[in-house]
Structure 1
Amino acid sequence: MDRTPRLLPREFVVKIHSRCNLACDYCYVYEMADQRWRSRPVRMSAETFEWTAFRITEHVRTHALEHVDVVLHGGEPLLAGMEAIRGFLTSVRSAIGGVARFSLQTNGLLLSEDVLSALLELEVRVGVSIDGTAADHDRHRRYRSGGGSHAAVARALELLQEQRFRPIYSGLLCTIDLANDPVATYEALVSFGPPVVDFLLPHGNWTSPPPGVGAYADWLIAVFERWYRAPSPETSVRIFGEIMNVLLGGRSRVEGIGTTPTSTVVVETDGALEGPDQLASSFHGAAVTGLDVTTASFDDAARSLVPTGLPLPCHDCEVRAVCGGGLLAHRYRAGAGFGHRTVYCADMFRLIQHVRQRLNSDIAALAGRSR
């Protein structure tokens, strides 16, 4: 019997440290429904690192994969220390070479010159979380003492922009706050020279809806117009690029846009194999598979994940191929599961239609000039 999972995992999020040196008030890991982080080991043990390296190697060899993506995550992953990170990468690469592509998502506070030099040597791409202007960022992304973290993150990004570190600069992640001016937010992010900007919709669902749901389309459309109409390209904005790619007949490369199946397996600090960690915003234990890296393969974990097909209510929607029903965590309703359209349905519909109209208008204009 074929034991290959319906969705073959190609991305692994490895939680190497389960605590953080910030106390962001919107964090889905620490502030939302699933509080299992409290009982997890603070740091991944040497044994769990070894088992994770083994499972990555096993998975690549079993399926003869040309590449897999390994994301070092947390908490704040740099709290695990560069020695642990170096040892883990060395174990994986000694077995499968460059097949595993490594990246790290950080709040930026520990990105010193020495740390960046080590990450450059190890070829680990670095993404940094920052929420726009100093005042807007510091409203949410604070130290436990209450002080804002923007100044420290900005110093790290000044380093990361230097020519020597540009090869590992993967981009910026910004959580949308409707209280923030969208164009000012975009321009603050672009000032740091990112190759890519990711805008993250606040996690929420039908039972616990995000604040201001229904107004995110206007916010994103304002950013889209500023980005799209720039005299010359400034950066890539992932949500807009993926929507345009699908509208033009391509396939999305990210979860939450398009209907291309995605399967991400998370390895927690205690070795638990779980589904996407944003499911923590849904309910306590939403990402649990009951499997462990010491006894189960990534294929076993993938077979246990919540199906991600198009929700039934979306089948007659004219933008279903672009929206794809939205991010799984945003479809949840207590007592009824994940079989709903995204709580951001109205926002995504309006955003996609706006992008479609802009593309159609510009394509028509280009065609007219070519006659």
Structure 2
Amino acid sequence: MTSVDSTRGEEVVPGPSTGTTEPGTPSSTFIIKIAGACNLNCTYCYVYNLGDTTYESRPKVMSKAVAGAALDRIFEYARSNDLPYVGLALHGGEPTLVGKRWMAWFLDEVARRASGGPLATLSVQTNGTELDGDWLDIFAEHKVSIGISIDGPEAWHDQFRVNHAGRGSYRKVRQAIELLAADPRGLPWGTLTVANPDYPGTRIFSHLAELGVRNMDFLWPDHHHDMRPPWPAGALSRYYIELFDAWLDAMNPDIKIRWFATVIEMLLGSTPRIDAIGLQSIAEVVVEADGSLEPLDVLRVCSNGMTQMGLNVTRNSIDELRSTRLFSQGLRSAELLPADCLECPVLNVCGGGYLPHRWGNGRGFRNPSVHSGELRRTIEHIRDRVAAEFAAASARD
């Protein structure tokens, strides 16, 4: 099951930065859905369980012909735009369902195509249930960073991340995390957790740290104005504020929570490194298991079939996708912000919120995020705490 970004930075932790783009700036991150099937049936999954049914027509595994065509399109586009690198994020469904031979073949194909440039950075987002030593050998050989989806201790995780028989997946996921934590090669890896205020983020943070996780991210849940969050106002910001304080108070520089680290960097003047916050374009390209070329896949939570453009890597180019109306809206997402957002003191960090979370009210994306109040309270708290920490450090000096 894909969590990121989602992007969301559909993004693996750690993984290639999406960077900041302006309309017309080439895309550099490509999300490749190498598997259309998943061995889990997570209750909140935006691919299978939030109203979009396009998965029903996808193959369980991307064919080699389609995979080869996808790589041809990506590297053709990258070279025509003089890109120094491309980020290839392998998603599903569950990407390990393609099998080890298929994965090794695909990664070899990437290496062959990238031999003359541009550089290809590789990541995989997995539910972890199939990971073993052989998988780690494959990913280590090809320098693939690994993201594991986990929602906390067993009792909490297993309420949401279940298989098709309704049984929890925690024990297998924990085994995968312990395998990664013990691997002597120092593979780049981390975890993704979907925030849920019903379960304290501070407890989840402590649990992950005890398991040896050093790179974490906590994703804002996928809701919008036509599918509003079920929690009372203030619950999400309380979750994130308490989590941030626990992380900061732990004073452990080896543990990183990506969303918090990104917000701090932006408060200090840096550009965003993930697509969920900041005044930036949404420029990711998605290749589905059947070869369909689509915009950001999380947009499917907004409306059934929204991301279907009728394009395919076997006959269409990346530029044709970028010229579609929906992709263009992502490239110009900041231009769609309402006046309230433009007057907000944390606009440069919040950016109005993640584009899928802005949908609804008959206004399309011309809304602030459905989480806007929660985002503002969280960012202002982080700003104030960081400022206080700097002031205290200066006083000590």
- 1:303 aligned partner: 323
Q: Is the 8 A contact 1:18 1:74 kept in 2?
A: yes
Tell me the TM-score normalized by structure 1.
0.95
| SS in structure 2 of the partner of residue 291 of structure 1 | coil
**CA displacement at 1:95 relative to structure 2:** 2.0
Q: Is the 8 A contact 1:107 1:129 kept in 2?
A: yes
| SS in structure 1 of the partner of residue 124 of structure 2 | strand
Work out whether 1:163 is the aligned partner of 2:188.
Answer: no
What is the root-mean-square deviation in Å for CA atoms of aligned residues?
A: 1.6
Q: Deviations along 1:70-89, whole A, 9 cap, x unmatched?
A: 01100000001122222222
- 1:55 aligned partner: 73
Q: Is the 8 A contact 2:32 2:288 kept in 1?
A: yes
- 1:153 aligned partner: 173
Q: Is the 8 A contact 1:34 1:283 kept in 2?
A: yes
> What count of residue pairs does the alignment treat as equivalent?
366
Tell me the TM-score normalized by structure 2.
0.89
Residues 296/236 of structure 1: CA separation in 2 closer, same or farther (3 Å cut): same
- Separation in structure 1 between the aligned mates of residue 251 and residue 392 of structure 2, nearest angstrom: 18
**CA displacement at 1:92 relative to structure 2:** 2.3
- 1:338 aligned partner: 365
- 2:31 aligned partner: 13
- Separation in structure 2 between the aligned mates of residue 315 and residue 32 of structure 1, nearest angstrom: 30
Equivalent position to 1:107, from 108, 115, 127: 127
- Separation in structure 1 between the aligned mates of residue 171 and residue 149 of structure 2, nearest angstrom: 13
- Separation in structure 2 between the aligned mates of residue 155 and residue 79 of structure 1, nearest angstrom: 18
Q: Is the 8 A contact 1:5 1:299 kept in 2?
A: no
- Separation in structure 2 between the aligned mates of residue 261 and residue 365 of structure 1, nearest angstrom: 36
Pairs within 5 Å for 1:332-371: 332-333=359-360, 335-370=362-397
Equivalent position to 2:253, from 211, 233, 244: 233
Equivalent position to 2:226, from 203, 207, 211: 207
Q: Is the 8 A contact 2:224 2:357 kept in 1?
A: yes
- 1:261 aligned partner: 281
- Separation in structure 1 between the aligned mates of residue 232 and residue 63 of structure 2, nearest angstrom: 41
- Separation in structure 2 between the aligned mates of residue 43 and residue 50 of structure 1, nearest angstrom: 13
- Separation in structure 2 between the aligned mates of residue 201 and residue 299 of structure 1, nearest angstrom: 30
Residues 79/165 of structure 1: CA separation in 2 closer, same or farther (3 Å cut): farther
**Percentage of matched positions with identical amino acids:** 35
| SS in structure 1 of the partner of residue 125 of structure 2 | strand
- 1:24 aligned partner: 42
Q: Is the 8 A contact 1:190 1:234 kept in 2?
A: no
| SS in structure 2 of the partner of residue 292 of structure 1 | coil
| SS in structure 1 of the partner of residue 178 of structure 2 | helix
| SS in structure 2 of the partner of residue 322 of structure 1 | helix
- Separation in structure 1 between the aligned mates of residue 86 and residue 383 of structure 2, nearest angstrom: 32
- Separation in structure 2 between the aligned mates of residue 87 and residue 277 of structure 1, nearest angstrom: 25
- 1:78 aligned partner: 96
- 1:172 aligned partner: 191
- 1:192 aligned partner: 211
Q: Is the 8 A contact 1:242 1:252 kept in 2?
A: yes
- 2:3 aligned partner: none
Equivalent position to 1:326, from 353, 375, 389: 353
Q: Deviations along 1:80-118, whole A, 9 cap, x unmatched?
A: 112222222222221223711111000000101111112
Work out whether 1:46 is the aligned partner of 2:64.
Answer: yes
Q: Is the 8 A contact 2:280 2:334 kept in 1?
A: no
Q: Is the 8 A contact 1:7 1:302 kept in 2?
A: no
Residues 89/180 of structure 1: CA separation in 2 closer, same or farther (3 Å cut): same
- Separation in structure 1 between the aligned mates of residue 314 and residue 264 of structure 2, nearest angstrom: 42
**CA displacement at 1:276 relative to structure 2:** 1.1
Work out whether 1:276 is the aligned partner of 2:296.
Answer: yes
- Separation in structure 2 between the aligned mates of residue 302 and residue 193 of structure 1, nearest angstrom: 41
Residues 293/5 of structure 1: CA separation in 2 closer, same or farther (3 Å cut): farther
- Give the partner amino acid of 2:119: V
Q: Is the 8 A contact 1:126 1:170 kept in 2?
A: yes
Q: Is the 8 A contact 1:6 1:303 kept in 2?
A: no
- Separation in structure 2 between the aligned mates of residue 41 and residue 68 of structure 1, nearest angstrom: 25
- Give the partner amino acid of 1:339: R
- Give the partner amino acid of 1:140: F
- Separation in structure 2 between the aligned mates of residue 163 and residue 81 of structure 1, nearest angstrom: 21
- 2:15 aligned partner: none
Q: Is the 8 A contact 1:257 1:324 kept in 2?
A: yes
Q: Is the 8 A contact 1:53 1:88 kept in 2?
A: no
**CA displacement at 1:134 relative to structure 2:** 0.9
Work out whether 1:66 is the aligned partner of 2:84.
Answer: yes
- Separation in structure 2 between the aligned mates of residue 5 and residue 221 of structure 1, nearest angstrom: 33
**CA displacement at 1:233 relative to structure 2:** 2.2
**CA displacement at 1:132 relative to structure 2:** 0.9
- Separation in structure 2 between the aligned mates of residue 192 and residue 156 of structure 1, nearest angstrom: 11
Q: Deviations along 1:289-318, whole A, 9 cap, x unmatched?
A: 332112222232223203322512311111
Instruction: Give the stretch that moved more between structures: 267-276 or 285-294.
Output: 285-294
- Give the partner amino acid of 1:39: S
Residues 206/5 of structure 1: CA separation in 2 closer, same or farther (3 Å cut): closer
- Unaligned regions of 5+ residues in structure 1, if any? none
- Give the partner amino acid of 1:309: A
- Separation in structure 2 between the aligned mates of residue 68 and residue 224 of structure 1, nearest angstrom: 32
